Amino acid sequence: MPVEPQPSAAARTAAAASPDEVVVAARGVTKRFGSREVVCGIDFDVPRRACVGFLGPNGAGKTTTIRMITCQSPLGGGEIRVFGLPVGPRSERAIKRRLGIVPQDENLDPDLSVLVNLLVYASYFDVPRAIAVRRADELLQLFALADRRDARIDTLSGGMKRRLSIARALIHEPELVVLDEPTTGLDPQARHLVWEKLRELRRRGTTMLLTTHYMEEAAQLCDLILIVDAGRVIAEGTPRELVRRYAGREVFEVFPPFDAALRDRCAPLASRVEQTADALRLYLDEDRAAEPLFAALAGHEFLHRAANLEDVFLHLTKRDLRD
């Protein structure tokens, strides 16, 4: 794969404006299974060379949306264009030819070796064998699997299988790579290695669409995040924008014991106050200074930190507990 220069933020914005440079355009997308509506009118664009993330809890409709974009599940309602083609039976093959899909649950071929997994997959995309072998070797190198070239799948660790799934999705040099929860179920080391590889792809300018329920993953990898809950997009923006808009700049987390008097004293100094059993959280916008709060909280145990996506997410989804 050719290494391409990383586009600047400005170039990305400009790209998003041009219709040719929108890889996926979804308008009013819905889907129901029986009487249960799982996707209830989603709109979004995936600009070329961007990494767009669907962030949301389990059951938010992320996977269902992904499956409609990738022509694996029929569109319920609305319209999705991928590479300018409307998804549907007529263009299914043309769209899939240009897509690389990394499924949520690994479905590598257990009877074939690592290399043969890649070669057989390449054949489904009409990639000539000589080219497939060369690309497979490059990808195994890139994903740190070169020494497992002839290994059987069941001898690989979870992280290796995930990396191989990603390599497999790249064997035909797709224009869009779709990853459904790329690091779910991996241990921290394996997760960081996958992130490193995905960042490498991003540097090369690969357009990516991923789903995740890890805030950190979204923050680390995505240019643009759509927060999805109960089948709707409830917020959208770059990680930084989202944090600034919904959580502010910084947070004071005050740990018990604290009383109502302390809260009343601090409330006017913060932009927003949130109290749960385990902490009192004081959010500060750009226009608020932190010093008065340091003074007010003297003698209490507290944590002062930058606001993050988790604050955004919990704020937007109202701290519900879900399965």
| Positions in the binding site for other proteins (CB under 8 A) | 33, 70, 72-74, 89-94, 96-97, 99, 101, 103, 105, 107-112, 116, 120-121, 123-126
Helices (H), 109-238: 114-124, 129-142, 158-170, 188-203, 215-221
**Cα-based torsion angle of the residue sequence 166, 8, 247, 191 in order, rounded to the nearest 10 degrees:** 20
Smallest distance from the beta carbon of 21 to other proteins, in angstroms?
A: 24
Q: Which is nearer to other proteins, 182 or 239 (CB)?
A: 182
Beta carbon of residue 94, minimum distance to other proteins (angstroms, whole number): 7
Nearer to other proteins, 6 or 107 (CB): 107
Residue 153 vs 219, nearer CB to other proteins: 153
- The answer to whether 16 and 51 are in contact (CB under 8 A) is no
Q: Closest approach of Cβ 196 to other proteins, in Å?
A: 24
**CB of residue 111 vs other proteins: minimum separation in angstroms?**
4
Cβ 273 to other proteins shortest distance, Å: 46
Of residues 30 and 91, the one with the C-beta less far from other proteins: 91
Coil, helix or strand for 233?
Answer: strand
If the CB atoms of residues 122 and 269 are measured against other proteins, the closer one turns out to be 122
Beta bridge mates, 152: 113
Beta strand spans in the chain (E): 22-33, 36-47, 51-55, 77-82, 85-86, 99-102, 176-180, 207-212, 224-229, 232-237, 250-254, 272-275, 280-284, 302-306
